[in-house]
Amino acid sequence: MASCVNSPAITLCPPRVSPSKSLRCSTGFNKSVSRSSFSSTRNAVLSLRRKQTAATFQVMAVAAEEAEPLRIIISGAPASGKGTQCELITQKYGLVHISAGDLLRAEIDLGSENGRLAKEYMERGELVPDEILVKMVKEALSKQNGWLLDGYPRSSSQAKSLERFGFKPDLFILLEVPEEILVERVIGRRLDPVTGKIYHLKYSLPETQEIAARLTQRFDDTEEKVKLRLKTHNRNVRDVLSMYRDITVKIKGDCSKEEVFGQIDKALTKLVQQKKISSSNPSLAS
């Protein structure tokens, strides 16, 4: 496994001031297409509650020191570790996790026309059209104060619409992982629909037989589909990066999840400190 000891240099601009919004929680988790919508939705809610309870204690620790909420975007290729890192970030920093993929899967579970259409694009490894997703993300973000936005924006049009709606991130995290590792990660990836925990058939085995028996696989986690998703990612990532260059931190993602989180935590700690300084000296905020 590659060493992540030398984390990349991190240069952050002064935090920006964003409009304040009320607090609510995100929804939606991965599911196997063969399970019923009802049990999937219920499991997603149970899983979300567990995560929120764990996060609440951490929130109190960080929020006590931090008045200005953080607004973070996390980006990376399929299986670059966004989901795992989002869990660790929400645990420590108490941000509400909004995942574009989860929003879409929740819409599919609802059986709506938008969900049906979205699934067609997802099965082809393509981006779901803005007409379906932009409004969903806008609604989810509008109910939050701080947020951790995962898998969005993936195109310059999505980035521009975020800007138009007044959602300004403080930090853009890009997870970088070599392509051959990504394919292997995707093929072995499994989800426990009860806890929402992600396993891998080679690298992160389930703790019990009972858990092993209920693991599901995402419908787009096949070798053929992940290669299409990677092509889509590679085609779009440069456009999105160019819009967030001044707030981007590149993270080396091909090492242990703790090491990856160490790099992210360092960047977030620095951001929190900068926000504290600028909230006590408002003239420093741009």
- Which residues are tagged catalytic? 82, 154, 189, 218, 229
Short-list 200, 224, 176, 1, CA closest to 77:
176
**55-94 footprint of ligand ADP as x/- string (CB under 6 A):** -----------------------xx---------------
230 binds ligand ADP per the rule CB under 6 A: no
Strands 198-200 and 189-191: antiparallel
User: Please, which residue, 161 or 263, has the CB nearer to ligand ADP?
Assistant: 161
100 binds ligand ADP per the rule CB under 6 A: yes
Q: Which stretch binds ligand ADP (CB under 6 A): 62-70, 150-158, 197-205, 267-275?
A: 150-158
Supply the minimum distance, in Å, between the C-beta of residue 258 and ligand ADP: 21
Q: For residues 183 and 227, is the Cβ–Cβ distance under 8 A?
A: yes
Using CB under 6 A, count the residues that bind ligand ADP. 19
Residue in the shown chain whose Cβ atom is closest to ligand ADP: 101
d(CA 66, CA 248): 21
141 binds ligand ADP per the rule CB under 6 A: no
d(CA 142, CA 117): 24
Segment (H or E) for 61 = helix 37-65
Supply the minimum distance, in Å, between the C-beta of residue 121 and ligand ADP: 5
User: Please, which residue, 121 or 165, has the CB nearer to ligand ADP?
Assistant: 121
Q: Which stretch binds ligand ADP (CB under 6 A): 44-52, 109-117, 149-157, 270-278?
A: 149-157
191 binds ligand ADP per the rule CB under 6 A: no
Q: For residue 154, what are the CA distances in angstroms to 45, 78, 130? A: 26, 12, 10
Supply the minimum distance, in Å, between the C-beta of residue 92 and ligand ADP: 22
d(CA 155, CA 237): 7
d(CA 212, CA 191): 10
Q: What is the DSSP string of 215-279?
A: -B--TT-SHHHHHHHHHHHHHHHHHHHHHSGGGEEEEE-SS-HHHHHHHHHHHHHHHHHHHHHHH
Q: Which stretch binds ligand ADP (CB under 6 A): 35-43, 121-129, 192-200, 275-283?
A: 121-129
29 binds ligand ADP per the rule CB under 6 A: no
Binding residues vs ligand ADP (CB under 6 A)? 78-79, 100-101, 104, 121-122, 125-128, 133, 151-154, 158, 220, 229
